[in-house]
Amino acid sequence: MEGIKPIDHPQYCWERTKDITYTLGALKKHAGTCRIVNAHNVTLALLQDDKLALRKGYAHNGCSMSPDFHNARRGCEAHDALVQMLQRGATSFTLEQANNALLELQKRDNFKLSKLYRWATGTWFARKFMKL
């Protein structure tokens, strides 16, 4: 996937090498702004309305508990950012909407296992893994 590279980090596997913005229909009714900032207060991920902007330097762990297939990564990357926002206290959208955003992006990328990945994010085990 263009704009992302593997990294050697104890928590994250992937890092953005250039900015990207996703339009997520699953978050169309989302109201408000959420962000992820680094230790220097630099915004690495920003959600405004249905737009999720990921900046160069944003890192994530990819498709947790499943293979990081090339055409699954964009959905997993966006899902990771949304889950990180929820873990940090975001209340303007739900885990269900984040899970649906995963499915939406993977379908756009013609990922054949998109429904299976979406189902897996909704399981009890996945919610425990995400600590939500």
Q: What is the pLDDT of residues 66-98, one digit of tens each?
A: 666 777 788 889 999 999 999 899 988 988 898
Average pLDDT for residues 2-22, to the nearest whole number?
89
| CA pair distance 126, 121, nearest whole angstrom | 5
| CA pair distance 6, 121, nearest whole angstrom | 23
Check if the beta carbon of residue 15 is closer than 8 Å to that of residue 58: yes
Q: Which residue has the higher pLDDT, 3 or 28?
A: 3
| CA pair distance 24, 50, nearest whole angstrom | 5
- Predicted confidence at residue 119, as pLDDT, reads 77
Tokens representing residue 107 in the block:
């379908």
Model confidence at 99: pLDDT above 90: no
Q: Which residues pair with 51 in a beta bridge?
A: 23, 48
Comparing CA positions, the residue from 78, 70, 92 lying closest to residue 121 is 78
